[in-house]
Amino acid sequence: MFELALTFLMMQQAPAENTDWDEAFGVEEAVRDPQTGELPVDPYDVDNANAGAKPFSGSSIAADFGGKDGIRQIADRFVDLNISDPRVAAIFAGHDHVRLRRTLYEQFCYILNAGCEYTGRDMATAHQGLGTRKPDLNAIVENLQKAMREADVSFVAQNRFLAKLAPMYGDVVTR
């Protein structure tokens, strides 16, 4: 019985060398937007509420983070640290880093009340299927702390910002 099955298995002809597997399985290649350089995502409702936290009132916290320029630098550095951190890099490996940099900047800038609108997806959707665990989130928090520390954000201001992010735990950690 076993030999029979195996024989049939091995008698199969190998597929041609130049088979276009994407075409054979109907896989469409994602094309980056020529303007933004971002990969397309499924449509969703754009809403500042997707940022997952109420923004600060007043402009002092935005100043603590160095305004829009400082926030962009911190968001960029934060992404750099995560994608090169062996603890969590795998989570970011399949991500559109161009879009991630933009939406993270917008989210930070919106929450810190530095004058941005958040146009990204909500936290639950954005983190769906990433399989993030609590130790991963801790590593990511450490990276954000490092990015803020390097930008000379005071520890008090760092914690005030983290307090806005901490309640998102349930949407971010999925296993």
Partner 1 sequence: MKRVARVLAFAQTAYFVAVAQTATAQVDEAPSVLVESPPPADYNAKLLLTNGISTIGGASGGGISDWATIAGRQSDRGIGVQLHVSGAVLPDYLWQSHGIAVGIADRVELSYARQNFDTQDVGAALGIGQGYVLNQDVWGAKLRVAGDTVYGSPLLPQIAVGVQYKRSLDGGVAAAVGAAHDEGVDFVVSATKLFLARSILLDATARMTKANQNGLLGFGSVGNDDYSVQFEGALAYQFSRRFVMGAEYRSKPDNLGLGEDDWIDIFAAWGATDNITVTAAYADLGSIATFEGQRGVFAQAQLAF
Phi, psi of 41 (to 5 degrees): -125, 160
Stretch that binds partner 1, among 70-78, 100-108, 112-120, 130-138 (CB under 8 A): 130-138
Binding-residue total with partner 1 (CB under 8 A): 28
DSSP 5-65: HHHHHHHSPPPPTT--HHHHTTPPPP---TTT-PPP-------GGGGSSPPPSSSHHHHHT
Interface map 131-160 toward partner 1 (x if CB under 8 A): --xxx-xx--xx--x---------xx--xx
Q: Under the criterion CB under 8 A, does residue 162 sit at the interface with partner 1?
A: yes
Shortest spacing between CB 68 and partner 1, in angstroms: 23
Could you tell me the two tokens for 86? 């062996």
Query: Which of residues 43 and 86 has its CB atom nearest to partner 1 in the complex?
Result: 86
**Footprint of partner 1 on residues 69-128 (CB under 8 A)?**
86-87, 89-90, 93
Phi, psi of 65 (to 5 degrees): -95, 5
The span from the CA of 120 to the CA of 48, in Å, is 8
Contact predicate 140/25, CB 8 Å: no
Q: Which positions lie near partner 1, rule CB under 8 A?
A: 2-3, 6, 10, 86-87, 89-90, 93, 133-135, 137-138, 141-142, 145, 155-156, 159-160, 162-163, 166-167, 169-170, 173
